[in-house]
Amino acid sequence: MIVATKAIVFSAIKYSEADLIVSCYTEVAGIKSYLLRGVLKSKKGKLKVSYFQPLTQLELIAEHKNKGTLEYIKEAKVFEPYKTLHTTILKSGLVMFLSEMLKNCIREEEPNKALYIFLENSFNWLDQNEEVANFHIFFLLQLSMYLGFYPDAANIEEKYFNVMEGSFQATNTNDYCLEGAQIESFKLFFNINPETLSSIKLSKTERQNVLELVLSYYSFHVQGYQKPKSLAVLNQLFS
């Protein structure tokens, strides 16, 4: 079946001498993996390697056989050209980290229009704004809403956060209840929007502690979760 769809690149891995295997989140079919034959050596083909950098937004004409095998891209063009996302060191580190997290967490081969729009808008905002030190934490917290495990903030004024249950509570009921400065910093990311992210003032250590909490939360709620390899690079960039 030939489909036309928007897509966001999650990863591109070299396969053999000249091929790429590209993982994309498509608007019409969720996650799809494509085999791009000869793209690393071809200079005249319709597909260019530069199109498949992480988080690039594309328009695709693709062949989907929907048999659980690699699909094929017939045509591709950049839908939303980025100005800064792949050219500034800090944002490149964020792109590496977020694309790895997305590939880790999103595996469904089915459309989710709301999630696609969220991703599209988030990366456009990241590209267009300069104060992005808190963006990855805010993004992951918002992403959990679309993945079905956004924390219950009804009792956010309470001192404990139960990482396993995803809720704030007044008492310590198990080994997964955390309290202290890390939790108070985490609370700052609720009930805000991207435009007010810069109002959250955290030190390097405080930001890393909140991110560790969010990743721990993901580890409880994402089946087969793997700690991102790019985390060390991200922490260095924000040091």
Could you write out the three-class secondary structure of 24-53?
Answer: EEECCCEEEEEEECCCCCCCCCCCCHHHHC
- For CA atoms 43, 49, 92, 193, the dihedral sign is positive
Residues near 145 by beta carbon (within 8 Å), at least 6 away in sequence:
none
Question: Domain 2-78: what homologous superfamily?
Answer: Nucleic acid-binding proteins (2.40.50.140)
Spell out the long-range contacts of 140-144 with Cβ–Cβ below 8 A and sequence spacing 24 or more. 140/101, 140/214, 140/215, 140/218, 141/189, 141/190, 141/214, 142/118, 143/101, 143/102, 143/105, 143/118, 144/217, 144/218, 144/221
- Residue 178: which H helix or E strand, with range? strand 177-178
pLDDT per residue as tens, the chain (239 positions): 999 999 999 999 999 889 999 999 999 999 999 999 998 887 777 899 999 999 999 999 999 999 888 999 999 999 999 999 999 999 999 999 999 999 999 999 999 999 999 999 999 999 999 999 999 999 999 999 999 999 999 999 999 999 999 999 999 999 999 999 999 999 999 999 999 999 999 999 999 999 999 999 999 999 999 999 999 888 888 76
CATH 1.20.1440.120 domain residues, the chain: 89-237
Specify the CATH number for 89-237; select among 1.20.1440.120, 1.10.8.870, 3.40.50.620, 2.30.30.60. Answer: 1.20.1440.120
Q: Which residue, 70, 64, 67, 53, is CA-closest to 4?
A: 64
CA distance 161 to 152: 10
CA distance 183 to 217: 12
By DSSP bridging, strand 72-78 and strand 57-63 are antiparallel
Q: What are phi and psi of 32, to 5 degrees?
A: -140, 145
Q: What is the pLDDT, as a whole number, of residue 159?
A: 97
Q: Which residue, 40, 99, 32, 104, is CA-closest to 66?
A: 32
Structure confidence by residue, pLDDT tens digits, 52-69: 999 999 999 999 999 888
CATH 2.40.50.140 domain residues, the chain: 2-78
Residue for token pair 């608007």: 27
Q: What is the pLDDT, as a whole number, of residue 239?
A: 64
